[in-house]
């Protein structure tokens, strides 16, 4: 996808962080932008800030874990802009902090509902509409480097992000040759507020678990890494380049390549062992 001016974009998690940066990048290219978010106050501020630049921007309250809510947001976007060409399934929550066997079922439900089902709902609601206008487009799904390699104490987050990578790979294979591109964004540490996700935890799931001292230590480490992370605008710039070049994978931190290579080394070693196995 090379031409952006006048086309429509829909971005979830659009009130802050990477989502808002994507909105700014699309608006700068002359796109019509719909920002969707679960936090009304922050959404209103984001829309107002972008409108001050002269951009055509609107906002809609949307809980991506609710398929009906995403479908309503899609209908609202089409009513406003006529067409959508770029879909960014970006909303996510950081869920974890406990060993797998101590993780509450509600935490699994929340992580899967937002991080994975939210992406699925976005594709289901918007892909038919992108296909229908026949002008091509691009779908960006936000995963994480946690979707490429897993660390301890963050299993709900890791599992959902691996799921987003797999989903994106499947979608890219299905859409090959259709004129609709797919990118999966796997950022490293970015200066966002994802570490404060608990403020959006649905009341129906009950209060979060009382964190253990180990969990608190891990949380403090993650907070420090996020604060020292790269700018969301840098991530958005890389996404724009990926859309233009029709890249499937979007990475941000070359320093993390070594850890990924270690994973690949272990996989290759397992294949070597399988080849040499004699029952």
pLDDT in tens, 200-239: 888 888 888 777 787 778 778 888 888 889 999 999 999 9
Evaluate if residue 155 carries a pLDDT over 90.
yes
Strand duo 86-89 + 137-142: pairing: parallel
Q: Please give the average per-residue pLDDT across 255-271, as a whole number.
A: 96
CA 218 remoteness from chain centre:
22
What is the model's pTM? 0.95
> What pLDDT sits at residue 241?
98
- Residue 75 vs residue 198, higher pLDDT: 75
What are the structure tokens assigned to 210, written together?
């009382």
* pLDDT at residue 55, as a whole number: 96
Q: Which residue has the higher pLDDT, 216 or 274?
A: 274
**What pLDDT is recorded for position 114?**
98
Instruction: Report the distance separating Cα 206 and Cα 110, nearest Å.
Output: 11
Cα–Cα dist 77/129, whole Å: 11
Q: State the pLDDT at residue 202.
A: 82
Strand ranges, E, within 126-237: 137-142, 180-186
**What tokens appear for 121 in the block?**
């709902």
Contact between 141 and 182 under an 8 Å Cβ cutoff? The reply is: yes
pLDDT at 23 over 90: yes
CATH classification code of 8-253: 3.40.50.720
pLDDT (mean) for 179-183: 98
**Token duo for residue 141:** 């799904």
Q: Residue with structure tokens 């937002």?
A: 114
Residues tagged active-site: 157
Confidence of residue 2 (pLDDT cuts 50, 70, 90): confident
Given a cut of 90, is residue 24 above it in pLDDT? yes
Q: What average pLDDT score do residues 180-203 get? A: 90
pLDDT of residue 96: 85
> What's the Cα-to-Cα distance from 180 to each of 140, 172, 216, 228, 274, rounded to whole Å?
11, 9, 43, 35, 38
Q: What is the DSSP letter of 230?
A: B
| Secondary structure (3-state) at 197 | helix
Rg of the chain, C-alpha, whole Å: 19
Write out the DSSP string of 33-44.
Answer: EEEEES-HHHHH
Confidence at 4, pLDDT banded by 50, 70, 90: very high
Query: What's the Cα-to-Cα distance from 178 to each of 124, 133, 219, 223, rounded to whole Å?
Result: 17, 12, 43, 41
Nearest to 19 by CA among 252, 121, 27, 73: 27
Mean pLDDT of 81-96: 96
CA distance 140 to 123: 10
Q: Is 158 helix (H, G, I), strand (E, B) or coil?
A: helix
Q: Closest Cα partner for 216 from 76, 82, 132, 96? A: 96
Quick check: 176 pLDDT over 90? yes
* 150 and 160 Cβ atoms separated by less than 8 Å: no
Report the half-sphere exposure of 26 (CA within 13 A, side-chain side): 32
Residue 108, pLDDT score: 96
């Amino acid at each position: 996808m090379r031409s952006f001016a006048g086309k429509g974009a829909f971005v979830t998690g659009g009130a802050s962080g990477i989502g808002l940066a994507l909105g700014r990048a699309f608006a700068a290219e002359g796109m019509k932008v719909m920002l969707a978010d679960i936090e009304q106050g922050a959404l209103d501020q984001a829309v107002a800030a972008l409108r001050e630049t002269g951009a055509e921007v609107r906002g809609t309250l949307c809980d991506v874990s609710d398929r009906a809510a995403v479908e309503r947001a899609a209908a609202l976007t089409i009513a406003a802009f006529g067409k959508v060409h770029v879909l960014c399934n970006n909303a996510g929550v950081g869920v974890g902090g406990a060993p797998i066997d101590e993780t509450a079922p509600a935490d699994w439900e929340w992580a899967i509902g937002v991080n994975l089902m939210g992406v699925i709902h976005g594709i289901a609601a918007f892909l038919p509409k992108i296909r229908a206008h026949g002008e091509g487009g691009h779908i960006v799904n936000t995963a994480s480097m946690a979707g490429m390699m897993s660390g301890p104490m963050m299993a709900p987050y890791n599992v959902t992000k691996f799921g987003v990578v797999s989903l994106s790979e499947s979608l890219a294979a299905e859409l090959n040759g259709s004129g609709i591109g797919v990118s999966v964004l796997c950022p490293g540490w970015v200066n966002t507020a994802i570490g404060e996700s608990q403020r959006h935890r649905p009341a129906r799931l009950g209060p979060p678990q009382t964190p253990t001292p180990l969990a608190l230590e891990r949380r403090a480490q993650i907070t420090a890494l996020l604060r020292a992370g790269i700018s969301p605008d840098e991530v958005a710039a890389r996404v724009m380049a990926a859309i233009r070049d029709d890249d499937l994978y979007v990475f941000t931190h070359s320093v993390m390549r070594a850890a990924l290579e270690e994973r690949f080394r272990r996989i290759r070693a397992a294949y070597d062992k399988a080849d040499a196995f004699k029952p």
